[in-house]
Amino acid sequence: MAPDERTLAERLLAGDKRALARAITLVEDDRPEGWELVRAVYPHTGRASVIGFTGPPGVGKSTLLGALTRAERERGRTVGVLSIDPSSPFTQGALLGDRIRLTEHFLDPGVFIRSMANRGALGGLSEAALQGALLMDAAGRDVVFVETVGVGQAEVDVIDHADTVVLALMPGSGDSIQALKAGVMEIPDVIVVNKADHPLTDTMVREIRGVLSLGPAKEGAWRVPIIKTQAAHGIGIGELVEALERHREYIRSEGTLLERRRRNLMNEVVAIATSRMRRQLEASIREDPSVQELLDEVVARRLDPASAAAEVLARNAERVSPGATDQAG
């Protein structure tokens, strides 16, 4: 690694906010020096509490994060916030810019906030976002909050990248009821019903408890708490902080924190490999006239899509194998 990159790594590990911002930009831009930086600082990760927030749009996840960040800072803990936004169709950049909603923390040296585009990642997290959370961890943040795109049922991959998963819902929302029905209830460790001044709050809490009761009851298993909050007014935030602490202590005492992190890291390796293989495959398809002819056969209904996909994969494997053989020799 070049001297200037070593300097960047050293500054990052010392908690320098500018170095952290630069490091995340390098990774987001898929620059080789960014990935080299990740390799250099990775042994210094694993110390932060990573908490993922998911839920339908409009439930107030960003407001919740702002209130939680304030509570953590009052306890003397440093915070990183990674907000994954829908991608702009024109620039592929973050569209919502959730940093605007967290402006009260922007000048706090103990808080680092970054919006990042999901770039079409179905589950709400992009390859670069996973590395962004790692870099915040390496920079010494005590807590890293990851807020994913509000895409509902498809957003389940946050479970693969957090120590604790929070599902935020709001009463009177059709999206929330759909979340109950869609199996998303299997994801969270903590459930938050925000905007709890709504008259249908208690009804929703009863519905959630009913759904949770349908799950298998295991002795000593974690019981998912339902926390009612009004994040805009700071109501219920203390109870939410306590619930997050209880869950972390539970998974630590049960020995499942290390198991969960092992699973998360294995899934992260597979996710990154899958993403890169897809990009390589798409590039090879665009550049190969014979594959375009194959696609024309599908359009003409002379070849079915599954058979065409099998042929594309077989051709791609043939293209890769000779190089692999030569290297092995």
Residues 111-160: pLDDT tens digits?
999 887 655 443 335 667 778 889 999 999 999 998 876 544 444 556 66
CA atoms of 265 and 243, how far apart (whole Å): 25
Our CA angle for 144, 230, 234, nearest 5°, is 65
Is the pLDDT confidence value at 242 over 90? yes
pLDDT for 327 equals 43
Question: Are 14 and 133 in the same domain?
Answer: no
Question: Are 139 and 70 in the same domain?
Answer: yes
Which uninterrupted H or E stretch holds 101?
A: none
Within-domain flag for 149: yes
* Number of domains composing the chain: 3
Mean pLDDT of 176-196: 75
Question: Are 49 and 33 in the same domain?
Answer: no
Q: What percent of the chain has pLDDT over 70?
A: 77
CB contact set of 206 (below 8 Å; sequence gap of 6+) = none
Listed range (66-80, 98-112, 136-150, 295-309) with the worst mean pLDDT: 98-112
Is the pLDDT confidence value at 225 over 60? yes
Q: What is the band of 99 on the pLDDT scale with cuts at 50, 70, 90?
A: very low
Range(s) of the domain holding residue 31: 1-43
pLDDT for 85 equals 66
pLDDT for 277-305, tens place per residue? 888 888 877 778 888 899 999 999 999 99
Question: Are 116 and 248 in the same domain?
Answer: yes
36: buried, middle or exposed (CB in 10 Å: 19+, 13-18, 0-12)? Answer: middle
pTM of the model: 0.80
Question: Are 60 and 126 in the same domain?
Answer: yes
Kindly report the CATH number assigned to the domain that includes residue 186: 3.40.50.300
CB contact set of 136 (below 8 Å; sequence gap of 6+) = 20, 48, 80, 82, 112, 114, 144
Within-domain flag for 262: no
Question: Are 118 and 211 in the same domain?
Answer: yes
pLDDT for 1-50, tens place per residue? 454 555 899 999 999 999 999 999 998 888 899 989 999 999 999 999 99
Average of per-residue pLDDT values in the chain = 81
Question: Are 156 and 62 in the same domain?
Answer: yes
Tell me which residue of 96, 94, 159 sits closest to 123, measured CA to CA: 159
pLDDT for 97 equals 43
pLDDT for 194 equals 94
Question: Are 103 and 219 in the same domain?
Answer: yes
